[in-house]
């Protein structure tokens, strides 16, 4: 298996948060178990972006599940990419779906789903869900584990 990480530009090196998601460099490494179907999950409980109209901060809990094919995402590059949204203005739907599509373009997974559980602003939470591919038969995909917003009870 090829585990050469010499072409990675961020892992093991100082790396600043990119100015925007478009400038962020997502990186991948070979899947060490490409012959096995399994789910990899990233929980991002403190995702932040900006409202494109008001400039006010928006907060979400993202859950990204994917069944890798030949590649897995290098996690430091993913953290930097997601952090680049901190000063980026976009609607909840745009952020959530754009993240999913960018990962699919990089990884070509068997399956990917992203749940964006956005905290309310203006009195209404907006949850956004996107999925591509079919879950391979026999793969266990747990519930994303994020309760819908209940307010005070």
Active site residues: 51, 58
Give the start-end residues of each E strand in the chain: 28-30, 40-50, 57-67, 71-73, 111-118, 127-132
The separation between CA 145 and the C-alpha centre of its own chain, rounded to angstroms, equals 16
Alpha carbon separation from 87 to 9, 90, 99 (Å, rounded): 22, 10, 15
């Amino acid at each position: 298996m090829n585990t050469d990480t010499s072409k990675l530009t961020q892992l093991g090196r100082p790396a600043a948060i990119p100015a925007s998601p478009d400038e962020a460099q997502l990186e991948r490494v070979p899947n060490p178990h490409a012959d096995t179907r399994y789910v990899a999950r990233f929980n991002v409980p403190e995702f932040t972006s900006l409202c494109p109209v008001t400039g006010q901060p928006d907060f979400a809990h993202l859950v990204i599940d994917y069944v890798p094919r030949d590649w897995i995402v290098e996690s430091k590059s993913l953290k930097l990419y997601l952090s680049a949204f901190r000063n980026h203005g976009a609607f909840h739907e745009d952020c959530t779906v754009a993240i999913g599509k960018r990962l699919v373009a990089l990884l070509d997974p068997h399956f990917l789903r992203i749940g964006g559980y956005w905290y309310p602003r203006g009195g209404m939470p907006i949850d956004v869900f996107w999925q591509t591919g079919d879950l391979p038969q026999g793969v266990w995909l747990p519930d994303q584990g994020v309760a819908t917003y209940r307010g005070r009870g």
